[in-house]
Structures are given as C-alpha cells and as structure tokens.
Structure 1
Amino acid sequence: MKQNQNTIRTFMIICLVFILGQAATTENDKDFKMCGIWRHGNASRNLTYDLRPGCEDIRILGNEFTLSIQGSITAKCKQSATITLDSSPFQNQSNFCVFWEPLLDLLIVEVNGRNRTLCGPNGLQGNCCTNLSPDYQNGSKLYGIVNGSIKGDPISSNVMEIYTFRGESINCKKKFCDEASENPGGPNMIEEAVMKSSKIGRVDLPCVQGTIIEMEEGFTGHNITLPAPRSNQSNTIPSIYLPPCLKSEVRKKSKVVLTYFRERTAKTFFKQKKSPKSPESTLLDDIVGISVENEIITNLPEPVRIRFRHSALPSNFSNECVSWDTRKDKDVMWRSDGCETFNINAEETECCCKHLTYFAILVQVKQRATVRHLKALTFITAVGCAVSLVSCLVLFYWLCKKRKGKKNQSSLVHRGLVVAIFLLSLFFILTGTMANVGNETVCQITGTLLHYALLSALCWMAVEVFHAFLLVHQVFEIPPPSWLFYLGGFGLPALLVVILVSIGDIYGQRKIVPSDDVNNPYYMCWMLDNEKSRLVHYIVNMGLLVVVMSSGMVMLFYVVRKIMKMQVLKNRYGVFLSIWGITCLFGTTWGLSFLDFGPFSEATLFLFCIINSLQGFFLMLRHFIMKRIEKTHESSGSSSGSSKQLMLQTHEKS
C-alpha cells in the first residue's frame, strides 16, 4: 500500500513539474525567471524577503524551513516581510519560480502554483537593474534548491543552498523600445507593458507616448488630446472621444490605454509587410492605438472618434481611415473595414470606428483617371439606364404580343434577357438613392439585388449565345425544354448570390471618391471595398464576363462571316444595325471593361458607360429593324430574302 502511495506521489510530482515547465514556455515577457525545486523539512515553512533599491545582486536561498529572497535590484521598491506558506501537498519539496520585470519594478514569487507579489508594478522605470546573471553559488548536502534553471536553461542539478545573481544598471525604457521595435508584435508588447504599469495618466517612452484612463461606474464618455512628445509640442496631435458604451456593465472599473506613434517610430513599428489597398498609397505620420484592459471591443453601438490633424492635402489626393486588427492579421495590413472617414476641413480628418485596435490615415497619392469625371459618368449612366428601362418595357410588350398563337423559343430567350437588363437598369438607378437615404440593411439588400441583376444579365447573354449555336447548327432535332433556359438565366445567379450572402460581409455601402472633388464622394449600394468582395469580383463577375464575352465574340465572328459571304447586301444600313444588335445580344460590348488602361482609358470608360447603359435601347432598335426587314422581304417575295433574314437575325427563326 505504501509503495502504491509513493508511486502515485512520484507521478503527481512529475505531472506538476511538466505543467510548470509548459507554463514556463509561455512566460516570454519576463526579463528574469529562476525556477527550481525547494527541498525542505516537514515542519512549517516560510517565505522571507528583504528587497531594497539599487543594482547589486539578488540572492535566492533555501534551507530546511525558509525560502528567502534578498538583494538590491529594485528601482523604488523597499519591502521586507515573512510569509507563512500553506501546507504543501508533498512532504519534502516544493516547486517555485522567481520572476523579475525591471521595467515595471515587479517581482513575483510562485510556490506550488500560487503567486505572491513581493514588489508591485510602479509605473515604467527609466534606469533599472536587469541582465541578472549567475554569480556565487553555495552547495548543500540535504536541504536547498535542486535543478535550478534560468528561463528553462539548467544551472545546476545539485542541491544548492544559495544562488546569487548580479545585475547591470541600464536605461530600461530604451532597451524595451529597442526590443519591441525588433519584434513583429512590438506595438502589442508596448500596449501590454503600459497596461500593467498600474499608472493612470501620461506615460512616456522613447518610442511612444501614451495615456491611461480609468473608466468607473457612471462613465459618460471622455474627450482627450493625446500627449505630445517632449521635444515636439505641435498642434497636430490627435484627439480622441471615447463613447459611454465603451465601459462594460460587468466591471466596476476598466482601464483604457491610448498609445501614440509619430513619424519615425510609426514607420519602425508598423513596417508594411504586405501591400496596402493600393501600391500608390501611403500612410500619414501619426498612428493611434486604443485598447481596453482584458477586453476585445467590436461592433460598438456608438463609434470611437479619432481626429487626426495634418497638413493640407492637394485637391487630387484622397484620404481614408484604416486600421490594423492584430487578431486577424499577423503582419501589418491596413483595412478600411469598420471605420468611416469624415473630412472636417483641409487639415483635419475624423475617423469613426466601431472597434478598437491601431488606426491611421491612408492617403491615395495618385488617383486613377477612371474616377476623374465621376459626376459626368454617373449622369450619363443614369440617363442611359432610364432610356433602357422604357425600351425594355416596350420590347417586352412586343415580344409577348408576337408570341400569341404560337410557341417561339427564341422569343422566350429574348424576353429573359430583356427582363434581366430591365432589373439591372432599375437597381442601378436606385442604388445611389438607397445608399444616401436608406439604412445599412436596406443598402445591403439593394446591393445584393443589383449584383443578382448583373449576374442574371450576363447569364442570359450566355443563354443567347448557346441558343444561337443550337439553332444555327441544328444540334438537336427536339429543342431543349424551356425551363433549362430559365434555370441558366435566373437560377444560377440566384444560387451564386445566396452563397455570397451566406458568407457575409460582401454587400453594403460603397464609397467612390472622385479625384477632382474629394470632399463629395459618391455612395452606392454594391459590393464592399474589402479583400473578400474583391476576390468575389475577380472570380465571379470577371470570370463570368470572360466566359460570356469570349463565347459571344466567337459566335459574332461566325455570324458576320456568313453575312459577308452573302451576295445580297443592298441594305448596308440594316446589316450594320443587325450586327450591332447581335453584338449587344451576345454581351461583347462588355469587353470594353478590359481596355481601361493607357492614354485612352477615359475615352474607353465613357464609351463603356454609354453603350452598356443603352443596351436595352439597342436591343429594342434591333428587333424593330429586323421586323421591318422581314416584312420588306416577305412583300418582295425574294428567295434570297429568307437566307439573308436567317443570317441577319441569327436565331430569330427556328
């Protein structure tokens, strides 16, 4: 029985040592950590300590009754006392560790898993005693310290009565800043150290200035201007408003840490390892960090407001509030998600953000020419869409009237495309209005419907190409069922949109800033400007457009080639309009979006907006011209007319 008890006791000791060893691997923020096993007697045991300011040495002693910590290594702490230790679950030995953080003047002793703070944090220290290295040691035969180690590195496995460590006096703040600047998580290291300093008010480090605010019960919000560097009392210091909702109802008190990185230190601590939203973008000098003690703050009902002050930007520059969420991105990655930008005046920009992290201003150094004439492009597109709306209604009525009394699959396909273009024009006209007067949910719904209408229009163009191929080459004796076309034109886009909605964070309010008037951006309900939405745009939108355009170009080339071989080309005007109508029918005009580069990019963009916004009108015009040509040839009784009609209308006749 006794042997079993010894076996169990030995197993528990091994487990405890393993657990302490695992815990030790996570204690990377301690400047000094000495651990070991204290062998003692079975009588009552004490922890004694005698600590004084200075930088000489620290002695860790162990004997039959006492574990003692003595020495001069603190900056301000002067403490001495004796603590009676609880009965250990083991008879003859206890696990212990001594932790020393000179920057905080913090010394902690852990015995059998229980922490005791001998010197509490007392602000961030300037000159401190650090770099403690082993010096004098005195062995023992029975009682003392076994398996002593520093930060997991063994010192001695023998029984030692005394371990002595000598220190070195250095500028602790400078050393800490140097270490943090070399660490990818440097800003978080600084934030954590400032949080643990137990100081309220201004905090100065060579690399950062900060402020600690304590939120108590009844917190009604707080306005604060961040402290300026001692050497620079500039008027460009950011100011911050903390809303009342920042205070947790569960906690009686909460500390808020605000850190301010400026100029050189901002570039040092926030090295851009991935390209920002645009390679032509740059950050302003100031970066502000905000965090609440032991809390992750997101989706605030009232935003935190950070007002940055800067020199006036040129009129063709735009600025945007961005943040780096260290929980999402290990490397520095600036995103605009969760922040709104308000240009107070030429020298002030306010960021309203519903989460806490690091914030900055991203400046677009060189605006693309595609947004140089945003107001004119918007007006042209709106007028073109309005004309297409009316044209689609007229054409849809004509196609339905033509269908009476006979089944015509070509008319069915045409009607599907007309409905899709009608919806696309309608939601594009509404998107600007909904973005300015509707709430966030309404804008998300409008953006979703606009994307569905765009995908549906592209899919129906692909259906037109497929149907034309079937009719011209007579692949099947029995035409495919009508539901197959509806499934491709309306069903597939619906499936894609449902998947994107389930993913989330795709649709919402989108801001487009014109380079010639940065203070009057255009808002629309569409896909958000984030990585997820951009990925969807390139895979879904551009991928589908490439498929439609390439297949349409092949079919268009085939039709034009047939027309040019024909002998009857008297009505060149009708031939041109027919080819132009087929071009719109097959979606090849959307290929202009790939030509938006070089010196003709502005002309290409205007041409793209004019042609594609009037697509409904061009389709209506083509169908009426084809109807007129058909009647002309029927009345003349020309045998070649039917052949010409077949080629001009491509797939009007099955």
Structure 2
Amino acid sequence: MKQNPKTVRMWMIICLLFNSGLATLENDRDFKMCGIWSHGNASRNLEYDLRTGCDIIEISANENTLSIRGSITAKCTRSSSIHLDSNPLQNQSNFCVFWDPLLDLLIVEVNGKNHILCERKGLQGSCCTDLSQDYQKKASLYGIVKGSVRGDIIWNDVMEIYTFKGGSINCKEKFCDEASQKSRGANMIEEVVMKSNTIGRVDLPCAQGTVIEMEEGFKGLNLTLPAPRSNMIPSVYLPSCLKSTTKTKSKVVCTYYKEQKLFQGGPSNSTLLGGIVGLSVENQTIQNLSEPVKIRFHHLPLPANCFGSCVSWDTRKDNEVNWRFDGCNTIEINERETECRCDHLTYFAILVQVEQRATVRHLKALTFITAVGCAVSLVSCVVLFYWLSKHRKVKKNQSSLVHRGLVVAIFLLCLFFILTGTIANVGNDTVCKITGTLLHYSLLSTLCWMAVEVFHTFLLVRKVFSTTPPWVFYLGGFGLPALPVGILLSIGDIYGKRDIVPSENITGPYHMCWMSDSDSSQLAHYIINVGLLAAVVSSGTVMLFLVVKEIRNRPDWKKTHVAFLSIWGLTCLFGTTWGLGFLSFGPLSEAALFLFCIINSLQGFFLMLRYYALERIKKKDDSSSDGSSSGSSKQHMLHTHENS
C-alpha cells in the first residue's frame, strides 16, 4: 500500500521528538553528550571553566573555540585553555563530553584524543547528576551539529549553545541501588573502587573496602577490613605471590559486603553466614596461587547440627552465579572463628556458607501449637485430678488410682515442656541438665502409666478381679521410669541444652533442655524412648481391638455418642495417638506431625472432656455405677462391676 509522504514525514518528526524526550527524562547517573563541531580552518582551542556546586553545565562552540563551563563538580575547580591540533583541510571535529559524578571525573574527547578536565577525586557522597536539557541557542554558521545525549539526537541543526541542568543527590546510595539490581553488582563496585584512584579505606552504603598498593619487594600483608560491626570484623592475609613480577605496582581491592542481595543464587537449603569478602587485583586474574590467601571470619557460634564451609562466588558462565567449594579449604579455628584458605583470587567473593544436617519445617508453628496445647492440658489435669480425688472419697477403686497416676504424669510432662525453652535461654548448664532430666522422666512416666492403663483394662476385660496392691501400679508408673533415667545420669553427657534448627532460618535455632545431640544420647533415645513408645502403642492398639471386639454387641454400644466417646477415651488412655510419631515421613509427614502435636499436647484436655461426658451419660442411665471414670466406662462398654 502506498503511503502519503507527508504522513511518513510526520511520523518521523514524532519519533524524533519522542527519542529527544527519552534523552531528557532518563535518570542515568553518568552523562555523555556528543556532537560534531563545525569550525573554521584556523587554530582551535578547548576552553573550560569549572566550579563546584550543582547548577548547570554549558557546552558551546564557535569558529575556533569549544567551551565547557558551569558548576557541577564536587571538588574540582579548574579554569584553563588547551590548544588543539589543527588541520587546515578539516573544518569539522567529532567530540564527546563525559561526566562521572561519583568519581568527580570530567573528560572531553576531541577527534579520538581525551582531555581530562577534572581528575578522579575518590568516591563522592553528594554529587550533581541527572543532567537534563535546559537552554539551547541556534548558530548561523559555526557550532555543534547533531548534538546527542547517550546516543539520542537532540538537534540536527547547527547550535551554538547547549545547557544542561543538574540535581544534587547522594551518589553513593544511588550507585549501590544500581549495583544491587545487576547480576554482577559486586564486580561493578570493585571496578569503581579501582578507578577512584583511592589508596586506603573506601566507604559505600553497601560495602566497605580497603585499597592496597603492592610495590616491588612486597612480602605479604595482614590487614583487618573495615566493617559496620566491630565484633565481627574479618581479617585477610595477602601472600607475596600476589605481586606480579612484570609490574612495578599493582592494586588490590579488599571489600566487605554486608548486603547479601548482591550475591543472588546458591545451593538450595543453605544460607550465607554474616558478611562477604571480595578480593581482586587490578587488571589481573589470579588462580592456582602457590601460597593461599587467608580470610578469617568472625561469627556467632553455629548450631550443633550445622557446620560452615568456605565457598567462592563463581561467575565464569554468563548469566549464571554459583557458589563453589573447590579451591578453598575450611579451617575451624574455634566456635566463633572460621578461616578460608583459597588458591584463587579474582572478582569472586569468599564467604562462609552454613549447610544444614537436620532441620524441622514449620518449627515456630509447631512450638506455638504444642505450648498452647500443654497450657490447656495443665489446667485440665488439675480439674480432672480434683474430680477423681473427690470420687475416690465416695468409693475407692483401682481404676481411679490408675487414672490419677496418668493425670499426674501428663501434668508433669506438660509443665516441664513449657519450662524447657525458657530455662534453656536464661538458665545455666546445670539447671538445664536438671530440667532435661525431669522432662525425660515425665515422658517415660507418662508412657509407663499408659502401659498400666492397658494392663488394668486387660484385667477388667478378662474378668480377673484379684485385688492388686496399689504400690504395684505406683512402682510401674513412677518407679520404673527412674531406673533408665538414673542409668543415663550415671553415664553422663546425656542431658543438657539441645538446639532444634528450623528449615526457614537455620541460623536461629530453638533451644530446649532435653537429651543432648551426642552419639550416646541418640542411642539412648532410640533404645529407651522409641522402644518404650513402640511397646505402648502396639499393646494399646491390641487392647483397643480386644475391647471393641468384646463389647461391640452390647445394646448400649449401638448408641453413636457412647461408641465415639469410648473409642476416643480408650485411644488416649492407651497412648495409641502417640503412634502418629512413626508416620513423620513421606508426603503426609507434615500433616502427621501437626496432628501429633495437636492431639498429644491436648491429651489432658481430652481426658477431662471424656470423663465429664461419660459422667453426664451415667447420670441419665438407670443402671448402677461405681462413680468413677473407669466405672462409667465399664457400664457402657464392659457391663462388669469392679470390686473395691
């Protein structure tokens, strides 16, 4: 289709204006203005008059002079004239004006030759940047043709004057923001520090560094890097082999990064420990050093089930960032110091990486749920014990005795579990060891009383009504758990502070007083705790099956609420709900873990609720009862009266 020439011309003008607007509105830190200087054949000069401040910069040209004037510098104050080489056959010259506000650097390039008007003065804090078009003046014959900003043409006509107005900003903060958005932001920082001509300390909001100049005869150097935290300052040893034999002087930039967002990517299920140290040598790639560089990190003690590894930031592949372990050896000085000895030195960062050995998902939520459930069970156990004691005064029976023992054991277990976290954080090692011992004893006592409940119900189901002395039940529920606990105490190094690491934050573990993480403690846990739990759960499951089989044809069993309360109550009494702990693996592991914490932490509450509900049912029944929780259960399930 044939297009109208006027329409095409109009769209070209619109696009030109649009590009011109982009050149004005871009918010780049650096400034670059280029053009063609149309001049005469006589001698030519570059004149400049620069002052500190943040106002305007004027770029103008006439028959024999290119002028740069204005107030945009931070420290540079210079005024002079430079004679330019002239060619009588040439009446045009290409030129560009470069302005780097962070370095306070201004360069004018004329026909490929650079003229530094303002030299680097280090990294500037407050600087003049974001130069935008202000005032322009056309010329009749000589001036600037095709003036452009960052490659975008401003005017094709001959212009005598271009002015650009700036704004004052915090240049260091803006540079750090730019670096954080780049995949190689750390390299940008080290390159700028290298270009700044600074020797000594360099401070940026995102990094602190030191620039060292290695001269001939360099024999190695120990230095401490500047860091924002006085008690976590890393130290570096630079070996003598870093100095190149072909160069008289070489610069080394040692940088401490507190912003981990500059180093995105890395192994899964891991985290960076504290700050990061970057080392680089000017215009060199250092590998396979005969003597390693040494970076010593100071950090908080690692959790018991975590260890530190030295890694380096690998950017050898474009658009790919990896932490690699090769090339660095990890030396653990003590629990608060780790030294990395590495045989390479480029623009890579050296850091300590923490890798987990074992963590718990959703630990914070699980801890909160368990604490709330234990608090509710504590109150429920007090109420239930009062009810059981009150009914004991009316009619004494063995069922009430067994129930009271289980209630006391659950009360102690919930109490010490609530206290264990607080004591682990504020108490000393001795107090924590005692608390861990009592918590373990309470757990074993609870499991033993559940076993006593199983044994006692077996006697009722099988109609064995021989009187058993009360001390037998007390010995099984309170005496038997003391035996393994006493043996473990005599062995030593079993109880103490234990760190449980959440997968969401492996550097913030949860402390509790329990069995320690030693090999002997692990062996005791599997033999005693897991073994006893397996015995109780299996025997309780068998007993529950026998009871249901025995009473499934009873008339009152057909009542839905009675059947539910009976099964639920016996499940709690026999400890079968603790079997959920064996299901904490596979795709349903998280659901099983949450159910385990909710149900078992509320066990005291469920027992109280069961007792209260069965008491209400018993009052509505016409059959006789012995007035205890177990008697009520027999009335509905066993139909067997119990002898006092």
TM-score normalised according to structure 1 size: 0.50
Partner letter of residue 180 of structure 2? S
Map residues 172-321 of structure 1 onto 2, 5 A cutoff: 172-229=171-228, 232=229, 234-262=230-258, 265-266=259-260, 268-272=261-265, 275-276=266-267, 279-321=268-310
In structure 1, how many angstroms separate the alpha carbons of the residues matched to 2:29 and 2:220? 35
Partner letter of residue 292 of structure 1? V
1:330 CA drift (Å): 2.9
Number of aligned pairs? 339
- Taking structure 1 as reference, are residues 261 and 89 closer, same or farther at Cα in structure 2, changes over 3 Å only? farther
Q: Name the residue aligned to 1:350.
A: 339
Secondary structure at 1:148's aligned position in 2? strand
- Cα shift readout 1:523-562 (whole Å, capped 9, x = no counterpart): xxxxxxxxxxxxxxxxxxxxxxxxxxxxxxxxxxxxxxxx
Partner letter of residue 182 of structure 2? N
RMSD, matched Cα? 2.4
Preserved contact between residue 280 and residue 366 of structure 1 (Cα < 8 Å): no
Counterpart pick for 1:334 among 317, 320, 323: 323
> What fraction of aligned residue pairs are identical, expressed as a percent?
66
Preserved contact between residue 41 and residue 86 of structure 2 (Cα < 8 Å): no
Secondary structure at 2:117's aligned position in 1? strand
Secondary structure at 1:334's aligned position in 2? strand
Preserved contact between residue 41 and residue 88 of structure 2 (Cα < 8 Å): no
In structure 1, how many angstroms separate the alpha carbons of the residues matched to 2:225 and 2:66? 46
Q: Name the residue aligned to 1:365.
A: 356
Partner letter of residue 298 of structure 1? Q
Partner letter of residue 350 of structure 2? F
In structure 1, how many angstroms separate the alpha carbons of the residues matched to 2:88 and 2:237? 52
- Taking structure 1 as reference, are residues 290 and 366 closer, same or farther at Cα in structure 2, changes over 3 Å only? same
Partner letter of residue 39 of structure 2? H
Q: Name the residue aligned to 2:158.
A: 159
Partner letter of residue 290 of structure 1? L
Structure 2: 5+ residue stretches without partners:
1-26, 360-516, 520-584, 588-644
1:30 CA drift (Å): 6.8
Preserved contact between residue 127 and residue 170 of structure 1 (Cα < 8 Å): yes
Preserved contact between residue 223 and residue 237 of structure 2 (Cα < 8 Å): yes
- Taking structure 1 as reference, are residues 141 and 153 closer, same or farther at Cα in structure 2, changes over 3 Å only? same
Map residues 523-538 of structure 1 onto 2, 5 A cutoff: none
Preserved contact between residue 41 and residue 87 of structure 2 (Cα < 8 Å): no
1:517 CA drift (Å): 9.5
Partner letter of residue 263 of structure 2? F
In structure 1, how many angstroms separate the alpha carbons of the residues matched to 2:232 and 2:169? 33
* Structure 2 residue 127 is the aligned partner of structure 1 residue 128: yes
Secondary structure at 1:350's aligned position in 2? strand
- Taking structure 1 as reference, are residues 90 and 209 closer, same or farther at Cα in structure 2, changes over 3 Å only? farther
Map residues 516-527 of structure 1 onto 2, 5 A cutoff: none
- Taking structure 1 as reference, are residues 89 and 340 closer, same or farther at Cα in structure 2, changes over 3 Å only? farther
In structure 2, how many angstroms separate the alpha carbons of the residues matched to 1:309 and 1:90? 68
Partner letter of residue 269 of structure 1? L
1:90 CA drift (Å): 5.9
1:141 CA drift (Å): 1.7
1:598 CA drift (Å): 7.6
Partner letter of residue 248 of structure 1? S
1:88 CA drift (Å): 4.5
Max radius of gyration: which structure?
Answer: 2
- Cα shift readout 1:563-595 (whole Å, capped 9, x = no counterpart): xxxxxxxxxxxxxxxxxxxxxxxxxxxxxxxxx
TM-score normalised according to structure 2 size: 0.51
In structure 2, how many angstroms separate the alpha carbons of the residues matched to 1:161 and 1:67? 10
Q: Name the residue aligned to 2:6.
A: none
- Cα shift readout 1:436-456 (whole Å, capped 9, x = no counterpart): xxxxxxxxxxxxxxxxxxxxx
Map residues 11-26 of structure 1 onto 2, 5 A cutoff: none
- Taking structure 1 as reference, are residues 333 and 517 closer, same or farther at Cα in structure 2, changes over 3 Å only? farther
Map residues 589-604 of structure 1 onto 2, 5 A cutoff: none
1:188 CA drift (Å): 1.2
In structure 2, how many angstroms separate the alpha carbons of the residues matched to 1:270 and 1:89? 55
1:316 CA drift (Å): 2.4
Secondary structure at 1:176's aligned position in 2? helix
1:329 CA drift (Å): 5.3
Preserved contact between residue 149 and residue 155 of structure 1 (Cα < 8 Å): yes
Partner letter of residue 186 of structure 1? G
Partner letter of residue 205 of structure 1? L
- Cα shift readout 1:30-77 (whole Å, capped 9, x = no counterpart): 700000000111111111111110111101111110111111000000
- Cα shift readout 1:202-261 (whole Å, capped 9, x = no counterpart): 1111111111111111111111111022xx3x2211100000010111111111111111
Preserved contact between residue 316 and residue 517 of structure 1 (Cα < 8 Å): no
In structure 1, how many angstroms separate the alpha carbons of the residues matched to 2:72 and 2:518? 61
In structure 2, how many angstroms separate the alpha carbons of the residues matched to 1:46 and 1:289? 45
Secondary structure at 1:235's aligned position in 2? helix
Secondary structure at 1:256's aligned position in 2? strand
Preserved contact between residue 147 and residue 154 of structure 1 (Cα < 8 Å): yes
In structure 2, how many angstroms separate the alpha carbons of the residues matched to 1:54 and 1:326? 40
Q: Name the residue aligned to 2:450.
A: none
1:81 CA drift (Å): 1.1
Partner letter of residue 351 of structure 2? A
